[in-house]
Amino acid sequence: MRYNSFQKKKLSNPTYRTKIISSFASFFLLIAIGLCAYLPAGLDGKLGSDGDKTFTISRALANANKPSFISTLLIAYFFLIYLLIIRGPSSFLLRRFIFLTVAFSFVVSLLWITPSSNKNLHYGLASIIFTFILFYNVTTFYLFYNSKKNDRNLIMFLIIFNILVYITLIVFAILRGNTLDPDIFASAEIFFAILFVANVLFTGFY
């Protein structure tokens, strides 16, 4: 019975368990970013708008508490993988697993590959992270688009909205360092991260 359930070809209906799992995954993602990255960086005076200081996720990761950040991020990762398994479908499980694994692995690498240590590599890895998160979000919404016949307009809007935010983020990244206020880029970066957390909750509750 369990094997057949795992082999389901369509999204399963949300349950109390999926809601709890997605809530835990989202909670630990927020803890990792907020309490384990931004809080230590802020307390150390590494964030701000003066000089080269910014509020970007990159700046927070460069000054994060690495053990606690890695621990909480891994917990969120395993909760999210478990959520994908129980909601399905099995036909898309591998690619979504790859998207998440690549993105999460590169996020951890940014703890050490900072703009000050290797600027080009850092921004290259950050671009890959944003791209794979976009792939994951769009793939997830595509699955809901095929399953929720009555809510296709809403889901199509979410797909387009995620793509537009991604494009905006890339444009801000290209313009960054010129006349653009770096805090605008930081805001776009944080908003994109929030979209990912919202996607996690969407997967568990919708």
Mean pLDDT by 10 residues, the chain (206 residues): 50 91 96 94 80 77 93 96 91 92 94 83 88 95 83 90 89 62 76 93 92
What confidence score (pLDDT) does residue 128 get?
92
In this structure, are residues 38 and 170 in contact, taking their beta carbons and an 8 Å threshold? no
Q: What are phi and psi of 148, to 5 degrees?
A: -100, 85
User: What separation in angstroms does the CA of 11 have from each of 8, 16, 32, 147?
Assistant: 8, 15, 28, 7
| Cis peptide upstream of residue 89 (ω within 30 degrees of 0) | yes
- Cα–Cα distance measured from residue 44 to residue 195, given in angstroms and rounded to the nearest whole number: 28
Biggest CA–CA distance in the chain, Å, is 60
Q: Which position has the token pair 């997967």? A: 203
pTM of the prediction? 0.88
Residue 51: DSSP 8-state = T
What confidence score (pLDDT) does residue 180 get?
54
Burial class (CB in 10 A: 0-12, 13-18, 19+), 16: exposed
What confidence score (pLDDT) does residue 176 get?
59
Alpha helix (H) residue ranges in the chain: 2-6, 16-30, 39-43, 57-62, 66-87, 93-109, 119-147, 152-175, 182-205
What confidence score (pLDDT) does residue 65 get?
93
Cβ atoms < 10 Å from Cβ of 98: 13
- Cα–Cα distance measured from residue 107 to residue 48, given in angstroms and rounded to the nearest whole number: 22
Collapsing DSSP states into helix, strand and coil, what is residue 171? helix
The sign of the torsion formed by the CA atoms of 8, 13, 15, 21 equals positive
Nearest to 55 by CA among 197, 181, 194: 181
- How far is CA 58 from its chain centroid? 14
